[in-house]
Structure 1
Amino acid sequence: MAAAAHEYGARDAYVEQDGTRIGFDEWYRRSRALAAHLRGRGVDTGDVVALMLPSGIDYAVAYAAVALLGAVTTGINTRLGPREVTSILAQAMPTLVIRDTDSDLPEIDGATPVLTRAELNSVTRSDAADFLPEAPGLGAPVTIIFTSGTTGLPKGAWFDGENMAAAADSAGVMSAPLDRRLTSTPFPHAGYMAKLWDQFIWGITLVVSPVPWSAEKMRDILIRERITVAGGVPTQWTKLLDGAQRDSFPDLRLGVVATAPASPELVERTAELIGVPLVVRYAMTEAPSVSGTAIDDPPDVAFRTVGKPQTGMDVRITDDAGAELPAGRVGRVRIRGACVMRGYWNDSKRTSEAFDEDGWFVSGDLGSVTDEGHLMLAGRVGDMYIRGGFKVHPVEVDHVLTEHPGVKEAAVVGYPVPVLGEIGVAFVVPTESSSPPTSVELRRWTADRLADYKSPDHLVIVDALPLTAMNKVDRHRLRALAAATPPPPR
């Protein structure tokens, strides 16, 4: 961080939604001041500090300050509820919580010391010229990143300095010197917490995405802040292209597709209209870098797959017993490499269960590998359902549904019924709310492209798909919605 402050000086490190900004030199100065204060309050090497702050400059200052102490930071997403927050605090056992008291955040145990956001801002104005940062070594823990808790209470994946270096090494086309990145990733997410070194090394500016999102706001910020890398879901890219032309965003060099697959038509149109390639990245809390598509991949590869393993990462597909499966066969995704977590914090049992005897992390994702080596995801282990004895992987059906011109977004879940065991219920956000596609139409569309048993049996039109705190489709809520409004008896 000292090197980055020296090298990049007053160059923007962060820009918030309202235009407030901070340079690398000032980020370092404020972080040192806060670190000196935290040391005075008894925070020591190896202690855990929890952040309950919105994404932005204050969060970044607090994270860097804790790292300078050789302590460990965990971020708590401000969208989480009391039960999830209580679980995270019980597992992390922080020495201190730095929190925003002006927002509607859950209360915490009064026995845990708190530093308020107002106090943080006061402290960072002080001088800490004589503060000496710690040097605990690359193997010391830096951060604990908690899962979204969609399959139970959150688990805390922890990472050390070597993980941070590996994440920077694996960035590939995602990072370039002096990039200006428009980010909508919540800061407690692995996409931020594990990429601290990446920002220091390349001098990357992080510009916080406008909330609520609109195409007009995004166009303005892309131009005004000279953004070079931006991420968005397919519908956002589609709206951004309306009225755009080749020189609309002169600084933009790369687009990243998130949450849902981008159709080949969207990939081609983006490249032709504004001259920007779209790439896909696959990662998870336990491995912030796994795989990704390349700039020169055909558009269909970016739609169907999540690319090939990133530098330093390996992926294999196995059956439940760990035997490797041939190309095209769906199985459990196993990952090994320098970006994989060291384990779950304070949970040796779940850590040992997460890795096989050869050191591969056994993920909860299902997928297959193409003959060319691209990874295709088929969904989560718990999302698969069995219809009439045949396995159905929802993500595969999601992709086909989103190819329909009348479908903006789609997600399929299994619903229990007599005889067949389970059927597929498709939740669809239509392209035009006034003329949504029919169930018969979508069943025919899907059956023309996949096995007939994969066609969804029931259709529910919705305004939007529910998302988790990590902005992923929340299939647990969809299953609950399907149970609350069940399909008619067959």
Structure 2
Amino acid sequence: MTAHLNLKPHDVTLQERADGTVLMRSNLPLGSVARRTGDWLDHWAAETPDAVFLAERQGQGWREVTYAQALTHVRAIASHLLERDLGPSCPIMILSGNGVDHGLLTLAAQYVGIPTIPVAEQYSLIPAAHPRLSHAAALARPGLVFAADATPYAAALALDDFAGIETLSAAPGDSGATDLADLLVPSGADITAAAAAVGPETLAKILLTSGSTSEPKGVLTTHGMLTTNQAQIAACLPFLSSRAPRIVDWLPWNHTFGGSYNFNLMLANGGSLYVDDGKPAPGLFDRTVENLGLMSGTISFNVPVGFAQLVRALEKDTALRDTYFADLDMIFYAGASLPQDTWAALERLAMEAGGKLPLITTSWGLTETAPGCLISHQPAKGAGIVGVPMPGIEVKLVPDADMRCDVRVRGASITGGYLDNPEKTADAFDEEGFFITGDAMRLVDPNDANRGLRFDGRLSEDFKLTSGTWVRAANLRLDVLSALAPFAQDVVIAGEGRDDVRAMILPNRAAIAAQGWEISETAGILRCAGLEAELAQRLTTLAGSAAGSAGRVCAAIVLAEPASIAEGEATAKGNLNFPRFLSRRAALVARLFAPESPDVIHILH
């Protein structure tokens, strides 16, 4: 049913080495690669000047900026940026979230070789998270700071880290910040030479890693990394060039997926990016539903929890369903595996709406990989397969005795290292120059490499029980999350150095409230008889399918307090820092493993 997309089948080659390692490559041709991101803007401003490039909500409709308008604004802003002492050692730090002005400033800086460092807006808006912002400022040493609206960012801009640094804002108020509107009139500076000097090796942006295992590192991201990655995606998904893509997207631009993959996917293919100012979070998802009702996309990007919420909205609103699926070519999930019931519901709703299936797929990569490395670009029957290498990427698989492979990658879209951190840079690559990702994967079918690879957890999250048995915590966490949907927002797996595996559940309060169950909170634990009975039944069912103790959750508790960004338990992307989480909540971990604890949900086996 996806024949209308003219998808290319997987075509890869495996090279087995004498030491047991395996090299995996795509046989698809890469195609042409742009020199710099500004080439895309120049091209589409000439080819489709009146097509919408960027848009954001304004009143009951949208503030839309065409490609011709975008180029005019970008060149004007760039002329002013050149008059400031900015460059690779003095970048522009962007504090606020996704928006038209954020996008124009980013492209203006890239147009003349000035890198930006976008940071999570939570670092500025949550006072307790200001140390994270200070860490980023100390790392990047910015020469200009941007906040779309200076008022909500006033406390962050007042930090000593930004003393003496010019602030730029589209809504400066009485903050004293420079008004972005003043930069929309060309300064008179000639940007020709600076633009011509930008090439594949020019630094485009510095992206912070999530900080889920250590302090965030600054990933050096060049124009060549970004342009190569878009050529790789286009080679795998040729329908992108058959009509201009369009997305209504909330994924944050300080993150590589939203800011590099999605943003540049539109720019490289003459597409339109409508900024969704909602997200799959309490109090914000209704805004996403409103935005999706106003504009149909050809591609839908989201995380699995977002698609689960979307399915419920689509089932209740046929008008929304018809608008959502009207032009849809692809549903793309990331961040975790898509539960099979969500996958099936999306397919059913698509057929009810228009009688054709979009491609439901995913990709895999990291901040250090620009980000796409693997992609599943042929129809699959279910979730979990992250695909095959994109053209120009070499994947090195280092198997263990159980054929679980340590994944390493090499290619033009891979970073050369971290900002001012030679030690971490050296540690990140093996002796052949392959980037060590820390992820584990398996071939779906060892006899057919074209079936692709399946994600098999983060190597750093594995731990041993007292029996010496390894627990693949990342995989088990995904299984538990799927089994407990929609009542679990997230799960932390515990048990290192103990006799069995137990779980700490971060609840989805909205889903619990919808059941009408009565809840109470005591010393950090949420108690709810109806919820506990439901979770016990589901975990018992899951335990019945486990092959051994390493895959069996024996007990669980439901936590009252959400993960804290300020305390380092969670990143701005929502990823959990598991070591920090378990350390900060050591008392609750002790209660989880205490004999006969009344707070614990015990699982029958």
Question: Would you say same fold, with TM above 0.5?
Answer: yes
Highest CA radius of gyration, 1 or 2? Answer: 2
Aligned residue identity for 2:374: S
Matches for 1:106-125 after TM superposition, within 5 Å: 106=156, 107-117=159-169, 118=172, 119-125=178-184
Query: Per-residue CA shift, 1:355-393, capped at 9, x if unaligned?
Result: 011111001323333224432223323322212311111
Output the CA distance in 1 between the equivalents of 2:584 and 2:358: 38
CA drift at 1:468: 2.3
Counterpart AA for 1:487 = L
- The SS at the match of 1:457 is strand
Question: What 5-or-longer segments of structure 2 have no aligned partner?
Answer: 1-40, 124-128, 173-177, 351-356, 518-529, 564-569, 596-605
Task: Tell me, in whole angstroms, the C-alpha distance in 1 between the residues paired with 2:85 and 2:555.
Answer: 58
* 426-435 or 341-350, larger mean C-alpha shift: 426-435
8 Å CA contact 1:400–1:446 kept in 2: the answer is no
Task: Supply the distance in 2 between the matched residues of 1:379 and 1:45 (Cα, whole angstroms).
Answer: 35
2:141 maps to: 93
Query: Please, which of 545, 559, 580 is the counterpart of residue 448 of structure 1?
Result: 545
- In the TM superposition, 1:29-44 aligns within 5 A as 29-44=72-87
2:417 corresponds to 1:369: no
Structure-2 separation of matches of 1:44 and 1:399: 42
The answer as to whether partners of 1:397 and 1:446 remain within 8 angstroms in 2 is no
The CA deviation at 1:185 is 1.6
- SS across alignment from 1:291: strand
Residue in 2 that maps onto 1:382: 460
- Residue identity opposite 1:395 in structure 2: A
Structure 1 residue 156: deviation in Å? 0.9
| 1:325-474 matched pairs, under 5 angstroms | 325=400, 329-371=403-445, 372-373=448-449, 374-387=452-465, 388-404=467-483, 408-409=487-488, 410-416=490-496, 420=499, 423-427=501-505, 429=507, 434=517, 435-436=530-531, 437-439=534-536, 441-461=538-558, 466=563, 468-474=571-577
d(CA) in 2 for partners of 1:223 and 1:351? 45
Q: Confirm whether residue 132 of structure 1 aligns to residue 191 of structure 2.
A: yes
One-letter amino acid of the counterpart of residue 418, structure 2: Y
Letter in 1 for 2:249: T
Name the stretch that deviates more: 304-313 or 358-367: 304-313
C-alpha deviation, 1:127, in angstroms: 3.3
Instruction: Give the Å deviation of 1:158.
Output: 1.0
| 2:358 aligned to which of 259, 276, 292 | 276
Supply the AA of the counterpart residue of 2:480. Answer: L
In 1, the alpha carbon distance for the partners of 2:587 and 2:54 equals 44
Matched residue count: 479
For 1:153, the aligned partner's letter is: E
More helix per residue: 2
Of 363, 368, 375 in structure 2, the residue corresponding to residue 286 of structure 1 is: 368
Q: Does 1:151 align with 2:213?
A: yes
Pair 1:244–1:310, CA change in 2 (3 A): farther
Structure 1 residues 273 and 128 mapped into 2: Cα distance closer, same or farther (>3 Å)? same
Which structure has more RCO (C-alpha within 8 Å, separation ≥ 6)? 2
Any gaps of 5 or more consecutive residues in structure 1?
Answer: 319-323
Quote the Cα distance in structure 2 between the aligned partners of 1:445 and 1:197: 41
What is the letter of the counterpart of residue 116 of structure 1? Answer: L
C-alpha RMSD of matched pairs (Å):
2.9
Name the residue aligned to 1:228: 298
Question: Within 2, Cα distance between the matches of 1:247 and 1:441?
Answer: 34
What's the counterpart of residue 188 of structure 1? 254
Maintained 8 Å contact 2:365/2:373: yes
Distance 1:64 1:352 in 2: 31
Mapped to 2, the partners of 1:272 and 1:143 lie a distance apart of: 41
Deviations 1:144-187 (CA, angstroms, capped at 9, x unpaired): 11111122211111122221211111223394542111222211
* Amino acid aligned to 2:203: P
Report how far residue 459 of structure 1 moved: 1.3
Q: Once the two structures are superposed, what CA deviation does each residue of 1:47-90 show, in whole Å capped at 9, x if it has no partner? A: 42222222111111111111122122211211122222222222
* 1:397–1:450 distance in 2 versus 1, CA, 3 Å: farther
TM-score, L = length of structure 1: 0.88
